[in-house]
Amino acid sequence: MAQPDSKKIFFENLSGAGKAIAVLTSGGDAQGMNAAVRAVVRMGLYVGAKVYFIHEGYQGMVDGGENIEEATWESVSSMLQVGGTVIGSARCKEFRTHEGRLKAAHNLVQQGITNLCVIGGDGSLTGANLFREEWSGLLTELVEQGSIEANAVQKYSALHIVGMVGSIDNDFCGTDMTIGTDSALHRIIEVVDAIMTTAQSHQRTFVLEVMGRHCGYLALVSALACGADWVLIPEMPPEDGWEEKMCQKLSATRSRGTRLNIIIVAEGAIDRHGKPITSGLVKDLVVKCLGFDTRVTILGHVQRGGTPSAFDRILASRMGVEAVLALLETTANTPACVVSLCGNQSVRLPLMECVQMTQEVQRAMDGKRFEEAVRLRGRSFENNLRTYKLLAHRKPESELPISNFNVAVLNVGAPAAGMNAAVRSAVRVGISEGHKMFAVSDGFEGFYKGQIKEIKWADVGGWTGQGGSLLGTKRTLPAKHVEKIAEQMRKHNINALLIVGGFEAFESLLQLYEARAAYEEFCIPMCMLPATISNNVPGTDLSIGADTALNAIVETCDRIKQSASGTKRRVFIIETMGGYCGYLASVGGLAAGADAAYIYEEPFDIRDLQANVEHLTEKMKTSIQRGLVLRNENCNENYTTDFIYQLYSEEGKGVFDSRKNVLGHMQQGGAPSPFDRNFGTKISAKAMQWVTKKLVETFRHGRVFANTEDSCCLLGMRRRALVFQPVVQLKDETDFVHRIPKEQWWLKLRPLMKILAKYKTSYDVSDSGQLEHVVRNRPKESDASVAM
């Protein structure tokens, strides 16, 4: 670990000794709730607090007794990968009454609980805030009844509340993603991908109904992720006459040779007059107007089920730890807050500000102020809707602007899931902006060989859900072939370049920038989108493809751990990819509940290995049955996977046995996750709009000439914003020998993984969320929204 910096605050200063924290899940269940409960329990115990489960939500709080149970470290083992909520959730009418809340207050005071962590939706959190406001009055009433001692009013004078939003609908304002949303999208996309194969076989139209009674997020994002032909959501009902327009669109796509149509309907979809639009109505309409063979699939509670995705586990773990820190720092005057996510940053927001904003959305919808409703949902939602319209609805040729610019797009480096979604988005946005789009096959190798051809709107249909790289990609760098590449650029009159790839793409862009001095052909706008499973590109917190790889790692770890259930104690040593970058090992370790993760960025020696073995041995002597250790492929040339496996096998004799597994290229394959599809789609659309702007700015005297640093950029996500950064300025931030950025944000998550695995460590809280206010319209770039 790095030595503590005097400027940083370390949470050893924040003690939970003498405090009692209770955690409950309320309202509808959501995947990832268990990860949040686990993080609250373990972080609470770690800081010395007593932690309690409240079973069955507010009902358990009102009923008391065995429903309020003290939690131990072992009581949250093996729950990270379980969907739903193992401590139960229930709707409680009694808690809505004063008498019910009086009973709940009595039950909490009996256990000395004055800190509540509530995981639920806006109704659950509103109830918690009301409870907090009434708290002192309730205690006074209990004293008058003789139920509690008079000194208890002073001793338990304030109730502190921190909320985490668990809702698959993502219908809570103030946070980019709620716990459970990403997993629900996984369920939807799995079904859509399966349906697409059967629909294509029979030339069918499928109408899919997804959850979202008051919020169209799931419908909108899944439509974006699968390239649906039409989507119907409650926030933005279609204009009158939509029936005819939709049928025309479906007919036009069929006439271009497409064998299927997908229509996604949110369960709360309405028309402009507030009349419900059901999946059955849409089906009847398509059959009546077009005569297409049409089927309806209602996904229902499938969306709530299954294991949580890697994203939800990481989000819930981060939020759970943040919630405990917020409770430790709270005072009697601190308002109840919600811990949430903005971009890639933890934030704390006043609970009631978020609830009021959420209620405003519903009021706007009820008043038929639909544009306002979309705006109130936040920039992320607005951006999703704008991007969907741009990509799904092709303008007639007569309405397209005529730019006379030629833009080439290519993939460079190793394939990554989501590359195809990015290319599709670039091609369609480029065509909508009036450009002629060219596809380069096999990266720069194909470029200098002249494998360049025009690519049309219909050519990229169905690309979003395909893994790998359909354009083909190679690791070849352009430096040795600049003359031939310049010749091809002259031949095809290429006015701008969009490169989708990993570290090789970054190096390539630097080489092309340097080649500008000798070749004017490279004096054009050039932009790079980071796409690599290793997430080792400087200038961005996240890369296209990394989320899919994380999910592959987490799913495999779950299966491997399950393989040991019912057998003797066992430790698994698992090797991940990533080159010298430990992102996959570290973040995968956090999501899978690993005991240790060995990486290059955090040097370790034989003493550390010995300490890890001893730590695992101690844990195995209790009720813990399985251990998980991840190792990045290049973390150390001498402490290989075989060496670590043999060491653990020898030192664990008599306590546990060991197994090893090298995950290999399975991390690179498979269909892209919803996150990667949408991240790729959205940043690619943004990049193409930047390209258009730069082309207009640099077009002088009949040609494009761009030779400034800011015309050769990488588009990356930095904390809360999507930022265009000149690649030349990123050179100083890069370790070119090991192909990693010199500073990496995710290293701050490593202590969190260690704490949740019962190690004593320092945790830097200088970066934890500070209480902010809900902003109606954040700065323009903040629609980064780490997930979607």
Backbone φ, ψ for residue 529 (5° rounding)? -110, 125
CB-based contacts of 334: which residues, under 8 Å, 6+ apart? 160, 771
447: left (phi over 0), alpha (psi -120 to 50) or beta: alpha
Query: Alpha-carbon distance 638 to 640, whole Å?
Result: 6
Q: Which DSSP string corresponds to 73-91?
A: SGGGTT-TT--S-TT----
Residues 158/135, Cβ–Cβ less than 8 Å: yes
Please state whether beta strands 712-718 and 526-530 pair in parallel, antiparallel, or not at all (unpaired): parallel
Write the Ramachandran bin of 16: left for phi over 0, alpha for psi from -120 to 50, otherwise beta.
alpha
721-726 and 570-576 strand pairing: unpaired
Which residues, in sequence order, are CB contacts of 36 under 8 Å at separation 6+?
119, 164, 166, 179, 316, 317, 319, 320, 323
- Taking the C-alpha atoms of residue 657 and residue 602, their distance in angstroms, rounded to an integer, is 26
User: Can you tell me which residue has the tokens 């459970």?
Assistant: 180
Question: Among 169, 229, 312, 595, which one carries the catalytic annotation?
Answer: 169
Question: Tokens at residue 189, please?
Answer: 């996309």
Kindly tell me the sign of the dihedral angle through the C-alpha atoms of 608, 613, 618, 619. Answer: positive
Residue type, 443: G
Q: How far apart are CA 491 and CA 484, in angstroms?
A: 10
Phi, psi of 518 (to 5 degrees): -100, -25
Q: What are phi and psi of 492, to 5 degrees?
A: -100, 5
Q: Is 169 a catalytic residue?
A: yes
Q: What are the start-end ranges of the H helices in 535-581?
A: 546-562
Q: What share of the chain is helix, strand, coil (3-state, %, to 5)?
A: 45, 20, 35
Strand partners, 408: 438, 497
Say whether 714 sits in a helix, a strand or coil. strand
> If you search the block for the tokens 């008599």, which residue do you land on?
654
Task: For residues 377 and 146, give the distance between their C-alpha atoms in angstroms, rounded to a whole number.
Answer: 47
- Tell me the CB-side half-sphere exposure of residue 525, using CA atoms within 13 A: 26
**Residue 409 and residue 500 in contact, taking contact as beta carbons nearer than 8 Å:** yes
Phi then psi for residue 319, to 5 deg, are -70, -35
| Residues catalogued as catalytic | 169
